Structure 1
């Protein structure tokens, strides 16, 4: 996309046209005087030329009085008007133009003889055609010369250009995904009201696909901004890109992307997340580094290097965007202060990779999910709920198939006893927790995705209140999950790239959609519309809608 600058004079001319069309003559004159910009445009050039050729001088003067026209051509115009006023015996009008019009005043100073002839013509009691039209000239020939001269000085502009261009800009922004279609827009403030969330419907139709080039250019992570305007992806080769979810194309309205100057990290980008106001984006990479970016400019606001000793697997902002929570392959969870760039708190207790981290809505607790499974097979620390102030562990939950959802978390003693019984009787395998997803309609609950055929809804106190299961066996374990805008539907995507949709109220599986033949890597849902996005390990990003 070319980056052609818009001339400030053109902007002023658009405003001048608006003022003229709305008969705001005083404001029009003041703006022209202050800016020294004139509005040499007309709605219809042919009509103006016809007005000149037919002597409709009142209409002509209304259109040219605020134009910037060379003095000689203005002399010709006003001279002809005065001549015709005298011919029609409109002596008073002719005298006013002779003595009070600015072009004739200039004529008197610069062409004394020509002015003297005009004054003589006006002073005579009877119209003198030979004095008015010497050398065989005629009224018609003089009008024609004036029309041809003015035609070179003016351009044709359709009416209401300012409003038309603003409308086109809004349509272009809707096409780019900056504005939601048919959504109200506050032109004065330059903001759009928060889009109302759609009624939930099952997203099952692939309507667009992104294909990254090269073997190492697949998306490791994808996430929507809270305002729904941005879809960000982080790829294996370290690039971070912002997409238009409506078209599936790169957002070229962001100048840095239009210039191919993408946000990037030195290593694979494993995780991304937006701040609550959608203005900042935090990224974590495979080498343990974290970066915070300003979305509109693509500039890096803060680098935390290293934030962890191993890859950063999950990141999120706190409520006011002043802190970043992170989890890592190094089995730790940390809170980083963005102002100081230092680690404020560190949580230990997991004995395997931390895959997902989350602040509670009131920012008083931290949730983390792990691949831990090395100590107690039936009681792995998945997820851990920490107290953010004291860094003490409040609850440890073990999501597993067949869990008793009628009871809350048990005490440590009974939990240990039941764990031993579970290991002895059923030999349950540990289920890696892939992700924890907040539920916007119930701030006390989260969706828990385990690497199994089951998803869970869990309270902040660790009680499992709902399970969602498909009946397939190996090769279809969930790798990621998300929820619909109204939190009435739960989506989970299996390793086999089958998208499962469950009804939250009933727990029933209501839809299965095979997206592709490659292995799924992740899933994210739009916060306002029935759109979900999945990405695989072969460089594809799939957009699905209802």
Structure 2
């Protein structure tokens, strides 16, 4: 319906449908032309198309800021002030990032334009390219319509040998569980104090551009303003989180299991829907029936003592099986041959778990040494 309205220039109907059903078409006539217009600074062609899209606030702020700077450079000061003072995007910037907003105001009252001051350590052309493609790690491209990076998939699977990043937790807040999101964008952890956090695994830092993180963390000071925990146990006792999983059908929900008689599906705003754990018990009892399990292949650490495995993870294509043991080592087994292909020290204290990226050759381990480590080939 939206596509039909757009193709037939039914702009008012298009806008009404989009607002009423809360569904955005999020397309442009030509992606190549759209990006070329941004790189060339043809903002009169870009803005009408942007008005039809649902883009992340951060992306819109970068776009409008660049337009204000270029209008100031052309000495189109009235246009620059109108964009700065009358658009909703810049109004939000004024509230959320007053220093950034005031910097633009000060540039507009100057009698001259200094590109070095305006663009700082960048250039006009580089900033245009960043707006078109986004600031991304190597090997990725920006999906303008999802507001996320389209992750590059590793064609061949390989076991990890090198430490990529390590994330340090507080002394009494070691991670109890960690999982990569199904789209491979985020690494989610939950710690023994019940706090759930979302990380950028490329940089090893907290993700603060997510909507829920923006509500919880002060991005300027990195001070925690608010945190959320699963509901407390009904009969008292320990409420530490055992595991957390992103809900497959809704990326805004996470499944949290703590030491209570219930599991929870929680939104990233901290609300929850209770599901009694009796459902899990019933499923376990069903599996205990006439079904019998048969061992197809086994993998061993080769140690009689101190070599028990505490957690395992399988690569996306099933070619590798990774185990962490009570000896604090990571074992890399070839699924096809059943042989131990690589062994390395993972942590300095008891390892708690391991998780694999959904389509990259990346493995994350976490332990009682209050460290979460990301490993790569």
Q: Normalised by the shorter chain, which TM-score bucket?
A: 0.5 to 0.7
1:436 corresponds to: none
1:68 corresponds to: 78
CA contact (8 A) 1:186 1:192 kept: yes
- How far residue 505 of structure 1 moved from its aligned partner, in angstroms, is 0.8
| CA gap 1:519/1:227 in 2 versus in 1, 3 angstroms | same
1:269 corresponds to: 241
- How far residue 253 of structure 1 moved from its aligned partner, in angstroms, is 2.1
Could you tell me how far apart the structure 2 residues matched to 1:39 and 1:153 are?
13
> Are 2:160 and 1:203 equivalent residues in the alignment?
yes
Q: CA RMSD in A?
A: 3.7
Q: Deviations over 1:148-176 (max 9, x none)?
A: xx982767566457624415x722x54xx
2:259 corresponds to: 286
> Are 2:128 and 1:163 equivalent residues in the alignment?
yes
CA contact (8 A) 2:151 2:184 kept: no
Q: Deviations over 1:274-326 (max 9, x none)?
A: 122543211111133433233xxx21342327x34xxxxxxxxxxxxxxxxxx
| CA gap 1:165/1:475 in 2 versus in 1, 3 angstroms | same
| CA gap 1:192/1:535 in 2 versus in 1, 3 angstroms | closer
1:258 corresponds to: 217
Q: 1:238 aligns with which of 176, 194, 197?
A: 194
| CA gap 1:503/1:189 in 2 versus in 1, 3 angstroms | closer
2:350 corresponds to: 519
2:111 corresponds to: 152
2:291 corresponds to: 395
5 Å-filtered alignment, 1:185-200, equals 185-193=142-150, 195-200=152-157
Could you tell me how far apart the structure 2 residues matched to 1:543 and 1:512 are?
16
| CA gap 1:38/1:243 in 2 versus in 1, 3 angstroms | closer
Structure with the bigger percentage of strand: 1
- How far residue 210 of structure 1 moved from its aligned partner, in angstroms, is 2.2
1:303 corresponds to: 273
5 Å-filtered alignment, 1:448-463, equals 462-463=293-294
Q: Deviations over 1:429-460 (max 9, x none)?
A: xxxxxxxxxxxxxxxxxxxxxxxxxxxxxxxx
Q: 1:477 aligns with which of 298, 308, 330?
A: 308
| CA gap 1:522/1:162 in 2 versus in 1, 3 angstroms | closer
Could you tell me how far apart the structure 1 residues matched to 2:111 and 2:338 are?
75
Structure with the bigger percentage of helix: 2
CA contact (8 A) 2:38 2:128 kept: no
CA contact (8 A) 1:520 1:536 kept: yes
| CA gap 1:253/1:474 in 2 versus in 1, 3 angstroms | same
CA contact (8 A) 1:497 1:520 kept: yes
Larger Cα Rg: Structure 1 or Structure 2? Answer: 1
Tell me, what secondary structure is at the counterpart of 1:393?
coil
2:28 corresponds to: none
Q: Deviations over 1:240-297 (max 9, x none)?
A: 1111222222222231353323332342001111122543211111133433233xxx
Could you tell me how far apart the structure 1 residues matched to 2:335 and 2:176 are?
28
- How far residue 515 of structure 1 moved from its aligned partner, in angstroms, is 1.6
Could you tell me how far apart the structure 2 residues matched to 1:236 and 1:187 are?
37
TM, length-normalised to structure 2:
0.62
2:85 corresponds to: none
CA contact (8 A) 1:232 1:241 kept: yes
Tell me, what secondary structure is at the counterpart of 2:297?
strand
2:361 corresponds to: 530
Could you tell me how far apart the structure 2 residues matched to 1:207 and 1:510 are?
20
Tell me, what secondary structure is at the counterpart of 1:493?
strand
- How far residue 502 of structure 1 moved from its aligned partner, in angstroms, is 0.7
Could you tell me how far apart the structure 2 residues matched to 1:500 and 1:223 are?
19
1:408 corresponds to: none
5 Å-filtered alignment, 1:60-99, equals 68=78
Q: Which 5+ residue runs of structure 2 have no aligned equivalent?
A: 1-33, 50-67, 80-108, 219-223, 233-238
CA contact (8 A) 1:292 1:300 kept: no
Q: Which 5+ residue runs of structure 1 have no aligned equivalent?
A: 1-14, 32-36, 43-62, 70-149, 175-180, 309-331, 335-345, 348-365, 369-383, 387-391, 397-461
Could you tell me how far apart the structure 2 residues matched to 1:514 and 1:29 are?
54
- How far residue 38 of structure 1 moved from its aligned partner, in angstroms, is 11
CA contact (8 A) 2:347 2:369 kept: no
CA contact (8 A) 2:39 2:128 kept: no
Tell me, what secondary structure is at the counterpart of 1:209?
strand
